[in-house]
Structure 1
Amino acid sequence: MEFRDYDTRLAAYCVIVSRQDGRECILLSMLSADRTRWGSMWTLPGGGVEYDEGFEEAAVREVKEETGFDAEIVGMLGARTFTPQRRGDGEPGGRPFKSAAVIFEAVVTGGTLGTLEVGGSTEYAAWVPIDDVAPGPQAAGRLPDHTSAGPDRARDGVRVVSTVGYALDLWRRLQRTRSLPVT
């Protein structure tokens, strides 16, 4: 298939890790149930790159919209591409598309936890203990709900977008190299 035969979605996401209540946590956003066929899902703060912005600018903007925090990019962790079925969930005439995502490491520089998006894709954001996130690029699974959203969610857990595990693996590898002695 040639590039003109499919649509491309450019996206930028951030891995933000911080100690919260004595535990190492990652900042995640809850993707609204009406945005996926699987219901609510944890994902990294981030999203689509607007026409007139770069990847870093988009990542910082999306973190602010989805979490309420100001962020500063520390560096690029990696990139990931994947090819979902089709735009429009297989509706007649739906075009194939490819998603290309750049994943950054970032730190919080200000703001207050709480989504600023109105009518967007994010329900809320939360600090989730890293130990609760399965490793690996195919780590889509379930996490406990780290909010007071009710007993059903706490018992059943909430799905995690596979990019979270992939990005966390990239971050963990970087942490290991940072701790190596300089020779």
Structure 2
Amino acid sequence: MGGAAPIGGTESTERYCAGMEFRDYDTRLAAYCVIVSRQDGRECILLSMLSADRTRWGSMWTLPGGGVEYDEGFEEAAVREVKEETGFDAEIVGMLGARTFTPQRRGDGEPGGRPFKSAAVIFEAVVTGGTLGTLEVGGSTEYAAWVPIDDVAPGPQAAGRLPDHTSAGPDRARDGVRVVSTVGYALDLWRRLQRTRSLPVT
């Protein structure tokens, strides 16, 4: 790290990472898509539900996407993951931004305790075909849904909860389901881009 504080890091993160070189940790590359469309008269974002057994917090809404395979590029991985998790064919419009995540303590990394850093690229994409419904079998996604973007709290650290937006049954929490903070961060990027597009050309 060359002594630099990690992006969005905390004091405990800095102590944990102090003196750590790039050879000392594993890197997980990931790609995600922001797909916004009008559904039943409301502007909605396409989200996928992380399976309860994949996080310590139970089921969570997240952007469709995931890990980049060894022989893939970021865009190729994003399109593949959207298809697997939502059933939709997607086309990349452009890159919105990137985000990194570093666990704050040893043991939060990959099996064996080796620390890791996740680096995710976030794209804007549009649906070009397919039908809503996850194609994964035994994967990380329970199902996908269109969620009104007004229900998503803004900001890079926005987490909180969202309504279920499914008929998955009464076992869902009455106050909704958790949402990964990256969703709010990505929507901020998307909204910023929309404002830029609406500016007059000079």
Contact 2:110 2:116 in 1 (8 A): no
Instruction: Provide the C-alpha distance between the structure 1 equivalents of 2:82 and 2:110, rounded to a whole number of angstroms.
Output: 31
- After superposition, the Cα gap between the structure-2 partners of 1:67 and 1:43, relative to the gap in structure 1 and judged at 3 Å, is same
Please state how far the C-alpha of 1:38 moved relative to its aligned partner: 0.1
For the aligned residue pairs, the C-alpha RMSD in angstroms reads 1.6
- After superposition, the Cα gap between the structure-2 partners of 1:112 and 1:178, relative to the gap in structure 1 and judged at 3 Å, is same
CA deviations over 1:79-121 (Å, ceiling 9, x no partner) = 0011024686479841111000000000000000000011110
Query: Given the two structures, how large is their TM-score scaled by the length of structure 1?
Result: 0.96
- After superposition, the Cα gap between the structure-2 partners of 1:88 and 1:124, relative to the gap in structure 1 and judged at 3 Å, is farther
**Equivalent in 101, 108, 118 of residue 89 of structure 1:** 108
Contact 1:43 1:164 in 2 (8 A): yes
Contact 1:80 1:101 in 2 (8 A): yes
Please state how far the C-alpha of 1:149 moved relative to its aligned partner: 1.7
Contact 1:142 1:157 in 2 (8 A): yes
Instruction: Provide the C-alpha distance between the structure 2 equivalents of 1:20 and 1:167, rounded to a whole number of angstroms.
Output: 20
Query: Given the two structures, how large is their TM-score scaled by the length of structure 2?
Result: 0.87
Instruction: Provide the C-alpha distance between the structure 1 equivalents of 2:89 and 2:111, rounded to a whole number of angstroms.
Output: 41
- After superposition, the Cα gap between the structure-2 partners of 1:57 and 1:40, relative to the gap in structure 1 and judged at 3 Å, is same
CA deviations over 1:15-67 (Å, ceiling 9, x no partner) = 00000000000000000000000000000000000000000000000000000
- Consecutive aligned runs of 4 or more in structure 1 exceeding 3 Å deviation: 85-93
Mapped pair 1:139 → 2:158 = yes
Contact 1:29 1:45 in 2 (8 A): yes
Report percent identity of matched pairs.
100
Deviates more, 1:161-170 or 1:147-156: 147-156
- After superposition, the Cα gap between the structure-2 partners of 1:112 and 1:88, relative to the gap in structure 1 and judged at 3 Å, is farther
Structure 1 gap ranges (5+): none
Please state how far the C-alpha of 1:155 moved relative to its aligned partner: 1.5
Please state how far the C-alpha of 1:154 moved relative to its aligned partner: 5.6
Instruction: Provide the C-alpha distance between the structure 2 equivalents of 1:80 and 1:112, rounded to a whole number of angstroms.
Output: 29
Contact 2:103 2:109 in 1 (8 A): no
Secondary structure of the 1:65 match is helix
- After superposition, the Cα gap between the structure-2 partners of 1:101 and 1:134, relative to the gap in structure 1 and judged at 3 Å, is same
